[in-house]
Structure 1
Amino acid sequence: MRLALELAAGTVLGAVALGGCSTSKPGTPDSTTAAPSSTTSAVPNPLDIGKIQQSPCDAFTSAELASYMGAVDNTSTDASDGKPTCNWHPTDGHKPNISISVYPDLGGPEGMYAAKAQYNFFEKAGPINGYPAVHASTGDSQTGVCQTIVSISDKAGFGIYVSNTTPSDPNYRTMCTVSDQIAQLLVGKLPKVS
């Protein structure tokens, strides 16, 4: 299994920014490595993403996303491959599209880091509220698109994908800044594993 952002996602989401609606998923990470076998967790204070996995569009309200994308026109979901996704589409086609994908079998930080070869742009990000994270894109940089993938337990994680085809967007050249901020928002909302 591999952690890979579908090559067509950038094109599809770019078309969404121009056209308005799609059910395509922004990324489909899979675990590449088994979770650590020791009794010590590789991710301290693991978080529970179960409720978001069941209903990914409940991850954020339209008001929480408004400062990043303006008014939300509609949402679309997909869980066909076991990785539930919600896509938020802006009313203004010049604003970014935002998506969350839940990766129930990410494989912890090891699985996340093992994906480097699958991307044209891949870098270790600073921790997101203390949790290991990477930036990934099938493009050559974070210009216009970025996914922040966060490992929140030895098994699960999530990805926040932000894309925009409008070079005049103030965040166009630094989309990872936006995906990081939205990832921080979600980490702050998730309960700890009990």
Structure 2
Amino acid sequence: MGKIRKLERTDTEVGPACNWDPDDGNLASAALHTFPKLTGVNGLYNSGSSFPYFERAGLVGGYPAVHSAQGFNGPQSGDCETTVAVSDHGIFGVYVTASQPSYAHYRDMCTVSDALVVAAIENLKRAGG
């Protein structure tokens, strides 16, 4: 992502989130969302009604996952969120977005969100979470 211009913690209608925006507008922004109201894998799989793009993603980092996006062809248009159920009450997602088609992964943004979810899971495991 490069040098971070802004880090912000927010409380959204679905739960707490952290947002990272790069200094360089040609790079992707990322946000980590938690979903305390969703429960288990069924909650995860049934959460797609508010997204134009939504698909089951198999296992990411060893956990059931979905991909979602704000646009109908989201991952090919610069945005994707990978959301995983790590327990019955532990569901989180990483949303990435790039505004510039010149960004290296603009047309396959789910690869970026998948990689960040795996990194978050590894960090949680190292921290004992």
Taking structure 1 as the reference length, the TM-score comes to 0.61
Is 1:186 equivalent to 2:127 in the alignment?
no
Pair 82,165 (structure 1): closer, same or farther in 2 beyond 3 Å: closer
2:14–2:37 Cα contact (<8 Å) kept: no
Structure 2: 5+ residue runs without aligned partners?
none
Aligned runs of 1:1-194 on 2, under 5 Å?
Answer: 69-81=1-13, 83-141=15-73, 142=75, 143-191=77-125
Q: CA deviation at 1:126?
A: 2.7
> Cα deviation per residue 1:30-67 (whole Å; 9 max; x = unaligned)?
xxxxxxxxxxxxxxxxxxxxxxxxxxxxxxxxxxxxxx
RMSD across aligned positions (CA)? 1.5
| Segments of 4+ moved more than 3 angstroms | none
Pair 125,82 (structure 1): closer, same or farther in 2 beyond 3 Å: closer
2:16–2:33 Cα contact (<8 Å) kept: yes
1:105–1:156 Cα contact (<8 Å) kept: no
Aligned length: 125
Q: Which SS does the other structure have where 1:190 is aligned?
A: helix
1:107–1:154 Cα contact (<8 Å) kept: yes
Taking structure 2 as the reference length, the TM-score comes to 0.89
Greater relative contact order (Cα 8 A, min sep 6): structure 1 or 2? Answer: 1
Structure 1: 5+ residue runs without aligned partners?
1-68
More strand by share: 2
